[in-house]
Amino acid sequence: MTTVNILGGGAAHGLVRGLIDAFKTQTGYGIDGEFGAVGVMADKLRADTPADVVILTQALLAKLAAEKLVVPSSIVDVGRVETALAVRSRDPRVIVKTEADLRDVLRSADAVYVPDTKASTAGQHVAKVLDRLGIAYEVASRLKIFPNGATAMRELAASTATRPIGCTQATEIIATDGIVLSGPLPPPCELVTMYTAGIATQSAHPREAAALIALLTGAAHRELRQRTGFAS
């Protein structure tokens, strides 16, 4: 089967997975590609990894368009995603309403699962939050850092720690079995990121790429976007 290839942030994986059947019915094409830390995906595109559709943060996709790697006129907002806390399904959800609450929760966790703190949107933010809270050094030995949020959340689900917690994009938490969304980060530590989709300038299937973006962003799949963690 001919496929449309995606390079996407991990936040988009659950949404794309939910559209595979609809896209195949509409176009006869399958969906393939990679999802991970947005910085890594952007670098893959720069290194000529074959791609038809690129789904990354708004700021990064705009930068790739300026580099002539994404067609500017094809870029469409998919939705906003919160960075949030996760716990294992069997553990009580944590209540975090203030900066002080968040500091206490992170201090009390014996393992903190996060994505790449240099290349991923959520991971970079976690590093900034730990600095802001003044506990970066204290928590450093308990940080469990993985290449992307999806991997970090799978590892959280399998964790044998006593009081583990995770932090990544809400979409990646929702898409992972064995963990639950515990809530967004509190003000002033919150982060809401707009994700956008665009057609790669070297796309081998631009018409089908446009059809996939229309499914990703169209009104017919608003409920799916909300269910997988995207807000308008």
Residue bearing tokens 């450093």? 140
Element (H, E) at 196: strand 192-199
**Selection from 228, 232, 222, 215 nearest residue 20 by Cα:** 215
User: What domains does the chain contain, in order, with CATH numbers?
Assistant: 3-80+192-227 (3.40.190.10), 82-184 (3.40.190.10)
Cα(64)–Cα(68) distance, rounded to whole angstroms? Answer: 6
Q: How far apart are CA 18 and CA 222, in angstroms?
A: 12
- 58 in helix, strand or coil? helix
Distance CA 112, CA 81 (A): 20
Query: Which residues are CB-contacts of 169 (< 8 A; sequence separation ≥ 6)?
Result: 9, 10, 11, 81, 82, 83, 84, 121, 122, 149, 193, 229
What is the model's pLDDT at position 119? 87
Could you report the per-residue pLDDT of 23-74, keeping only the tens digit for each? 999 999 999 999 998 999 999 999 999 999 999 999 999 999 999 999 999 9
Q: Chain-wide mean pLDDT for the chain?
A: 96
Per-residue pLDDT of 80-127, as tens digits, reads 999 999 999 999 999 899 999 999 999 999 999 999 999 898 999 999
